[in-house]
Each structure stands twice: as C-alpha cells, then as structure tokens.
C-alpha cells in the first residue's frame, strides 16, 4: 500500500503538508483550507474541479 508521500513525490518539501491536508476533510468545511489550494494554483484548482487530492497529484 502506498503512503501519501509515495503518491506525491514531486511536491516541494516546503508545501509537503498539503499532501495530508488534501485527504483530510477539514479543507471542505473551512474557507481557509480551500484558499490554500486555490492560492497554490488558481488554474490547478479550476482544472481539478476543486479537488485538492487531484490537484496535488498533478503538476498544475
């Protein structure tokens, strides 16, 4: 079974905490959580259909 780090090896260390947050439903209930992903990449947020797990897995 792959861990979260294995699924997203290209994520820079500075923002590696987004890996775990993408799979934590906290971001759905808090506008600040959604803003983190939107701030990282507005285009990626749109192209992922506002799905942080999909967005973090991509290179947008």
Q: Show the domain range for 23.
A: 16-57
8 Å CB contact between 22 and 55: yes
Domain for residue 4, yes or no?
no
Cα pseudo-dihedral 39, 45, 33, 23, rounded to 10? -130
Domain for residue 41, yes or no?
yes
Domain for residue 9, yes or no?
no
Domain for residue 28, yes or no?
yes
- List the chain pLDDT tens, one digit each, 60 residues: 456 556 556 667 777 777 788 888 887 888 888 888 898 899 999 999 999 888 887 776
Domain for residue 1, yes or no?
no
Domain count, the chain: 1
Look at residue 42 in the predicted model and tell me its pLDDT. Answer: 93
Domain for residue 33, yes or no?
yes
Domain for residue 8, yes or no?
no
């Amino acid at each position: 079974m792959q861990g979260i780090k294995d699924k997203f090896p290209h994520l820079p260390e500075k923002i590696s905490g987004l890996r775990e947050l993408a799979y934590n439903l906290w971001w759905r209930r808090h506008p600040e959580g959604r803003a983190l992903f939107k701030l990282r990449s507005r285009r990626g947020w749109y192209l992922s259909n506002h799905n942080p797990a999909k967005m973090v897995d991509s290179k947008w």
